[in-house]
Structure 1
Amino acid sequence: MINKPTILLIAVAFIACNKIKSGNELQDKETAYIRSLGLLQDQEQIIKFYSNYKFKNAGNFFTNKRIAKYWIDKKDSSKNEIIFAYYDDILSIDSTTNVPSSNCPYLLVTRKDKSQFKVFVNGKKPVVNAFFTEAIRKWEESIKLTRL
């Protein structure tokens, strides 16, 4: 019989193994699931994706049109969160990479209406930084295009 601390250790190790994926690495059924949550439109492509738990429970990603996250609590739907911001609606994006080891680095997305949400990404620091840099660059490119 496995005791609770061992199960917790196994779970943490499993979660820590989640990796950042490019949109091309997602399976069709994964993309369909994200679409079913209302977080993906036709002609919208996921650029990078990270799940800080199980795929069907948690996802953090950016596309060619938005930054988004979801948390689906299978036991208590009142805790579900499906949050996104189109690039045009974003006022600022700040990255926080220096966090305690028990936390995940994140992007703090501030919308023009001043509401905020966090997009969590974990992994090796250079890979996390690359995710953050690419997401911010995509947003900045979108802003430049809308000003033309």
Structure 2
Amino acid sequence: MKKISLVLVIILFSCSKNKIETNDSLKTDDIKYIKNLGLLDDREKIIRFYSEYKNEVAGNFYTDKRICTYWIDERNVSKNQKKIAFYKDVIKLKPNYNPGLTYSKYVEVTKSDGSTFRICMNGTKAEIEDFVNVMILTWKKSVRINQEY
């Protein structure tokens, strides 16, 4: 029975219609929701966004200021998670393009306090590479600008 359940989960995730999005492709309600979670300022724009499930439940994104992930448990509020790293606090971004059959690709974010979290994404090889490369370039640009002052 457990094998059948695992196969069903794999099939559901592989048939998912979720895609990498931008600020322009996200629904206005999604952006308002993310702002209400306290993960986005009024002047910030989401550069790339991906959800493993529904946008109201799970999100992975980055802006010109920060990298964020959230999980809002629909049944148990104590399981809610929001993780944020402002670029000035990021010391390492490590992509993992081969996490195994049942997992999404991800970038492990390491902060200056030693804590880590993952930003997940899925899509075509080109979409995933774009997601990761733009994230790294945005971080490097932000850090370089902050060091100049």
So what's the TM-score if we normalise by structure 2? Answer: 0.90
**Partner secondary structure for residue 83 of structure 2:** strand
Distance 1:113 1:61 in 2: 21
Q: Which residue number in structure 1 is paired with residue 144 of structure 2?
A: 144
**Cα drift, residue 57 of structure 1:** 0.5
Quote the residue 1:34 is aligned against: 34
2:24 is paired with a residue whose SS is: helix
Offset at residue 123 of structure 1 (A): 1.3
1:147 Cα deviation from its structure 2 partner = 1.1
Counterparts of 2:87 and 2:42 in 1: how far apart (Å)? 17
Gaps of 5+ in 2: none
SS of equivalent to 2:128? helix
C-alpha separation between the residues in 2 aligned to 1:7 and 1:96?
24
Residue-by-residue CA offset, 1:41-72 (whole Å, 9 max, x unaligned): 12111011000111101000000100001001
Normalising to structure 1: TM-score of the pair? 0.90
Structure 1 distance, partners of 2:99, 2:8, is 25
In structure 2, relative to structure 1, the CA distance for the partners of 1:33 and 1:112 (3 Å cut) is: same
Counterparts of 1:58-73 in structure 2, within 5 Å, are: 58-73=58-73
Name the residue aligned to 1:74: 74
1:47 counterpart residue number:
47
SS at match of 1:42: coil
**Displacement after TM superposition at 1:97 (Å):** 0.5
Deviation at 1:99, TM superposition (A): 1.9
Q: 1:123 to 1:38 in 2, by over 3 A?
A: same
Q: In the alignment, is the contact (CA less than 8 A) between 2:72 and 2:80 conserved in 1?
A: yes
Q: Give, in angstroms, the shift of residue 12 of structure 1.
A: 2.9
Give aligned-pair identity as a percent: 36
